[in-house]
Chains A and B, each alone.
Chain A
Amino acid sequence: MTTAILLDDPTAAIDKLKELQPGWDSYGAETIGPSERENAKGFVTRVLRTLGPDYLHMKVGPTADGGVALIWRGRDALKVEAFFSPAGNRYLVFSRKGLVDRGPLTGTEFLKQYLAP
């Protein structure tokens, strides 16, 4: 099974998600929609343009609701995640202690805020 790993070309990994069949997670997951894939790819392009290639070190994967997840890891096991789903686009930040931040995905500022060296 091919799957999400750290990739230099996240857009290729996002495109590959269209190959998933219904129920790919063993719990009846939806196939990954074209809008969600395009939104995720558009965001990756925006990240490259506004923050640079250092921010392209992310994991790419599907979500059960037919969406795309992009995941970055910050310092001290901080997780910074962006979701592109039929219900909308959002980001989520959490640490081992719990939820740190979340909100609608309107730009790339949250990545800079939580991942900047």
Chain B
Amino acid sequence: MADLPPYKPGQEVTEGLIYRRIPNRGTYYDYDLEMVDVSAFILRPRDRGSLSALLNREEARASLKIPVHKGFGLCVLDVAKMKAETSGQARVEFAPTPGAFGASHVSILGCQDEEVRVILALIAEIDVEPERPVA
């Protein structure tokens, strides 16, 4: 079992890496340039500027084994770099949720602005490359 993150719910996470799943779609990941695209960080209106990610790499990788996530990849974001590159607009809050893979859940706050989402896409690195889409 993975170690519990050393944060309290609602506490800001200021360093470390966080992981977010990306669907295996050519508009989410450019397979030729090996770049995550902005689509990976587009929000639903009800998200109010907040995106989900996980602190724990093992949990994030395990989540890819669920059948509905077949072919998905994982991108990784450096929390301190994210905050610096977005001048503090994007920040991360520990927000555990009940259920599978929720123990290390975090919210990336401040993603309403398109420029912030571009920065997230540019600094995101790939931990697990999504499978190539099937035509």
Is A28 a contact partner of B44 (Cβ separation < 8 A)? yes
B23 touches A3 (CB 8 A): yes
* Complex contacts, B43 vs chain A, CB 8 Å: 64-65
Contacts of B27 in A (CB 8 A): 4, 59-62, 69, 71
Residues of chain A contacted by B44 (CB below 8 angstroms): 28-30, 64-66
B13 beta carbon closer than 8 Å to chain A: no
Complex CA gap A2/B63 in Å reads 21
In the complex, A8 Cα to B114 Cα: how many Å? 29
Residue from the list A1, A29, A60, A99 in contact with B118, Cβ < 8 A: A99
Among A2, A69, A77, contact of B39 (Cβ-Cβ < 8 Å): A69
* In the complex, B33 has a CB within 8 A of chain A: yes
A3 touches B134 (CB 8 A): yes
Which B-chain residue is minimally distant from A93 (CB atoms)? B118
**Are A94 and B133 closer than 8 Å at their CB atoms?**
no
Q: Are A4 and B71 in contact (CB under 8 A)?
A: no
Whether A4 and B37, one on each chain, are in contact in the complex, defined by CB atoms closer than 8 angstroms, is: no
Please name all residues of chain B whose beta carbon is closer than 8 Å to the beta carbon of A67 when the two chains form the complex: 42
Chain A: number of interface residues, binned into ranges: 35 or more
> Contact at B114–A61, with CB atoms within 8 Å?
no
Nearest Cβ distance between residue A59 and chain B, in whole angstroms?
4
Contact A25 B118 (CB under 8 A): no
Instruction: Give B78 Cβ to nearest chain A Cβ, in Å.
Output: 17
Q: B68 contacts A5, CB within 8 Å?
A: no
Chain B residues within an 8 Å CB radius of A86: 45
Cβ A77 vs Cβ B28 within 8 A:
no
Quick check: B26 and A65 within 8 Å, CB to CB? Answer: no
Is B24 on the interface with A (CB-CB < 8 A)? yes
Chain A nearest CB: distance from B129 CB in Å?
A: 14
CB distance from B110 to the nearest CB of A (A): 16
Query: Which of B26, B35, B45, B72 sits near A4, CB closer than 8 Å?
Result: B26
Contact residues of B between 53 and 71, Cβ < 8 Å to A:
63, 68-71
* Contacts A27-B52, A69-B39, A94-B118 given; does A5 touch B23 at CB 8 Å: no
Is the CB of B21 closer than 8 A to any CB of chain A?
yes
Which 6 A-B pairs rank lowest in CB-CB distance, beginning with the nearest? A61-B27, A3-B133, A4-B26, A3-B25, A59-B26, A63-B42
Q: A residues within 8 Å of B by Cβ? A: 1-6, 23-30, 59-67, 69, 71, 73, 77, 79, 81, 83, 85-87, 90, 92, 94, 96, 98-99, 102
